[in-house]
Structure 1
Amino acid sequence: MSGPLRLSAREILALVCDSFDELPCPERDSASDGPLAWPGYGASRARAAERTGETESVVCGTGMVEGTRAVLIAFEFGFLGGSLGERTGDRLEAAYTYAREHRLPVVPLVATGGSRMQEGMLALTQLQRVARQSALTRQAGLAQVAVLRDPTTGGGWATLGAGADVVLALPGAQVGFAGSRVRPPDADPAAYTAEAQVAAGSADAVVEPGALRETLGRWLRLLTRPSEEPAPVPRALGADDLPATGWDAVRRARSPQRPRAGVYLDAYFTVRAAIGGDRCGGTDPDGMLCGFGECQGRTVAYAAQTGAATRPAGYRTATRLIRLADRLGIPVLTLVDTPGAANDAEAERQGAGAAIAELFGALATARTPVTTLLIGEGGSGGALALAAPGRTWATPDSYFSVIAPELAAAILKRSPEEVESTAGQLRIRAQDLAELGVVRTDLP
């Protein structure tokens, strides 16, 4: 059985770039055996240079990826394991600085074993330099899309990889903070793979090598088109007539035949790309869909509930999406459709309240315009957390309620026969919500 694909720096650049121009390399004076006078270090560097044709463990430059210009940072694993030393830090800092000066996105193509042993703590402190450059680039409103190659471990994963806005990975790549030689002897190797990181919400997608250029190009195109205009309001895809009663609205919203988020997203976007995971060890693919897409020639970010109870990881993923879109100046569309937040014991252990609070805060402080369409159930605060204040519309087959009618009746100590009348008293229909000023009426 063959292992994961390993490409040199030049090979990965040729795989993803239409063209590539290397940036000038800053070079510092250093003793032949490095800052620690490590015996034989100079000879090791010379052998690595002869073997790879490179003078350091990274190659930095600008390239065109499917029509979008970007700064690319390609690690050469054949040069001392792609390790980071002082000269590596110099090159990385120069690349990030160039990206900010020229307003270009950054694409780290990572393959590294971590910090260079022969430079000791001076090598480890390069992670602080890299982290600062990544943070400054983030503050400048520029996108960072990382590609994880085999292997991506140690500080390279914990800075350039995991710190990117979008994280793609090649199949089977070894990915983890702990490299293979420093893990506990009983550690499950399957936990240190690209696939495991996607499952854990720490990376967004595994991409086959043959699809990498197209996928990376799509992401760069979507993330580099800011707009001050709000996202267009989607048209209602379900019923045209308004519900006669509150319980009528509940039945419609709960109907299996009603259009769900996937149908709305397919109708709204010509192209879209999903992000996955909350970067805290969780995913909620059954409850929340998040990503970026193209609508009427513009990029729009989306966070869409699917009709299921939303789990804490779903709320955190939506928060991540909204904050990223806000930083990049991209308008957001949210689709509200949930009976409410998941309320089982596991959801509480995963921090449901804190996750919902973070989403409320992200929406409240977003500078980019957010557009919301209620397409189904609007169950209490778990739904309201995704709704934009003052910019929420509702379809005829939806409802929004302070609590589900059944639970409201139970709290009021009413009989089950009174659930339907309670639904009416709650005024949860689209037309009721419009009269109350909770939603807007100018739905396309």
Structure 2
Amino acid sequence: MTDGGARTAIAAVTSEFAEFSFADTGPEADYGDGPLTWSGYTEQRARARTRSGESESVVCGQGQIGNQPVVLVAFDFRYIGGSLGQRAGTRICRAFEIARRLRWPVVSLISTGGSRMQEGMRSLLQLQRIARQLQLTRWEGLAHIAVLREPTTGGVWASLGAGADIVLAVRDATVAFGGHRVQPPGGADGPEFRSEGKFAAGAVDAVVDQATLPHTLRHVVELLAPTGAAPVQPATVPRALGRQDWPADGWSAVQRARAVERPRADAYLDDYFDHVFEISGDRAGGADPGMRCGFGRRDGATVAYVAQTGTANTPAGFRTAARLIRLADQLRLPVLTLVDTPGAANDAAAEHAGVGSALAELFGAVAAVDVPITTLVIGEGGSGGALALASADRLWITPDAYFSVIAPELGAAILKRGPAEVEHTANQLRLRPQDLLELGIVHGIAGEEPID
């Protein structure tokens, strides 16, 4: 069931709202039957105005979410199914132009059936116009957050919705490129066509209940508020939460890093941040719970983070990490990475999903950004799956971690050594924190206090 319309959606998330005036788009009477002279289109729009109280399918204006002013774009499904025509496209484009001029984030509250057939290709071309506005806004370092309401389908989902920096979806909303009427019989009833299915497939960052949406949206908007022009300061190195003594030999370092009682990413994130918002998914069909990505508040400032949780990460995890790092660069936010993985997944599924190209994408993202990246190895630092997250100039390690070109067992196997020689191989690899410091691989060993 659809919600109460554009203004109801706006009122639910804002403390104040002022609609933009689009007088130069021309009065509705001048629009006639549209570019295709579609018979009855004038009457359809008249009925839509009566039903919705709106002059178009989108309402655009400025509002306040928490302590952050924003530009809002809200769809009203009661107006011809929230469909996108020329006039609606123009309003959306102008709303983004205003956002760039004011340097405010954009929040899109979407409920739509897609492009408006009565305007033909003139309607479909709005997707290109909107895509251009999204890119221009991204280049300006401003965030765009989309909220997918019931329903969100068609070209608007494939442009304004899926093209947002952060995508929130109301629980159980229909989210699909093809709506119910264009799907094969029974096809659109599966989970793939709803919010939860899109989250599982990596296309949505979070599924939220209608009641908690205002709080979640405020949280996200305030975390991603535009930054000033001052240079971005690196994130402080987290304090070490585990053992403070250094391991006696290489194999001891490996065992300590693998110990069940060693503090993991969740402990470090809880200790470091006041609160966080996590993103999810690679936008290409996958999500990896072993790669935690998001934004957190520390000492009143936002820091982006990527934290491995001790598992062998999948291609989806590496692509999500790359997405997070590129977004942090766009928003001029420092990045903290926590390394803890035995290595990248190397099974058949990982190879099929392109683990090599996913790692290359992440290496490239880390190398390309202008914002500083701070890395702390908190557990296992296994090969390229760990190095892909490592900063080139701010790399630290805890006393109960190691970093190695390969796991000792795998290294011994490659060298045709038996199990009895694994410990010796670990020592030869010089993977202890103090070895890495002496070799110039890491810049320091973290202690009990954070490092500026």
Q: Which residue identity lines up with residue 247 of structure 1 in the other structure?
A: W
Identity in percent: 59
Aligned counterpart in structure 2 of residue 300 of structure 1, from 297, 300, 303: 303
Matched, 1:19 2:22: no
Matched, 1:252 2:241: no
Q: Which portions of structure 1, spanning 4 or more consecutive aligned residues, are displaced by more than 4 angstroms?
A: none
1:338–1:376 CA contact under 8 A, matched in 2 = yes
Aligned equivalents of 2:410 and 2:383: distance in 1? 11
Aligned to 1:370: 373
Q: CA deviation at 1:413?
A: 1.8
Aligned equivalents of 2:393 and 2:36: distance in 1? 61
What is the TM-score with the length of structure 2 in the denominator? 0.96
Aligned counterpart in structure 1 of residue 401 of structure 2, from 391, 398, 401: 398
Matched, 1:388 2:428: no
Q: CA deviation at 1:225?
A: 4.8
2:2–2:151 CA contact under 8 A, matched in 1 = no
Aligned to 2:326: 323
Aligned to 1:290: 293
1:303–1:321 CA contact under 8 A, matched in 2 = yes
Q: Which residue identity lines up with residue 125 of structure 2 in the other structure?
A: T
SS at match of 1:242: coil
Aligned equivalents of 1:418 and 1:80: distance in 2? 72
Distance 1:142 1:148, change over 3 A: same
SS at match of 1:181: helix
Aligned equivalents of 1:402 and 1:332: distance in 2? 24
Aligned to 1:28: 26
2:397–2:445 CA contact under 8 A, matched in 1 = no
SS at match of 1:209: coil
Q: CA deviation at 1:5?
A: 5.3
Aligned equivalents of 2:65 and 2:339: distance in 1? 35
TM-align CA RMSD: 1.1
Aligned equivalents of 1:366 and 1:37: distance in 2? 50
Aligned equivalents of 2:333 and 2:288: distance in 1? 23
Aligned equivalents of 2:444 and 2:266: distance in 1? 24
Aligned counterpart in structure 2 of residue 266 of structure 1, from 256, 265, 270: 270
SS at match of 1:77: coil
Q: Which moved more, 1:406-415 or 1:106-115?
A: 406-415
SS at match of 1:301: strand
Q: How does 1:91-240 map to 2 (within 5 A)?
A: 91-190=91-190, 191-226=192-227, 228-240=232-244
Q: CA deviation at 1:7?
A: 2.6
Deviations 1:261-291 (A, max 9, x none): 0010000000100001000000001x20000
Aligned to 1:345: 348
Aligned equivalents of 1:107 and 1:164: distance in 2? 9
SS at match of 1:62: strand
SS at match of 2:316: helix
Q: Which residue identity lines up with residue 212 of structure 2 in the other structure?
A: A
Distance 1:439 1:362, change over 3 A: same
Q: CA deviation at 1:186?
A: 4.6
Aligned equivalents of 2:340 and 2:96: distance in 1? 40
Distance 1:392 1:134, change over 3 A: same
SS at match of 1:107: strand
Deviations 1:67-114 (A, max 9, x none): 211000000100000011111111111101000011010001000101
Aligned to 2:416: 413
SS at match of 2:77: coil
Q: CA deviation at 1:28?
A: 3.4
Distance 1:5 1:124, change over 3 A: closer
Aligned equivalents of 1:436 and 1:173: distance in 2? 54
Aligned equivalents of 1:280 and 1:159: distance in 2? 15
1:89–1:130 CA contact under 8 A, matched in 2 = yes
1:225–1:299 CA contact under 8 A, matched in 2 = no
Q: CA deviation at 1:188?
A: 4.8
Aligned equivalents of 2:186 and 2:180: distance in 1? 12
Aligned counterpart in structure 2 of residue 276 of structure 1, from 270, 276, 280: 280
Matched, 1:7 2:4: yes
Distance 1:205 1:112, change over 3 A: same
Aligned counterpart in structure 1 of residue 441 of structure 2, from 416, 438, 443: 438
1:225–1:298 CA contact under 8 A, matched in 2 = no
Deviations 1:111-156 (A, max 9, x none): 0101111111111111111111111111111100000001100011
Aligned equivalents of 1:416 and 1:209: distance in 2? 56
Give structure 2 stretches of 5+ with no counterpart: none
Distance 1:265 1:153, change over 3 A: same
SS at match of 1:289: strand
Q: Which residue identity lines up with residue 360 of structure 2 in the other structure?
A: A
Give structure 1 stretches of 5+ with no counterpart: none
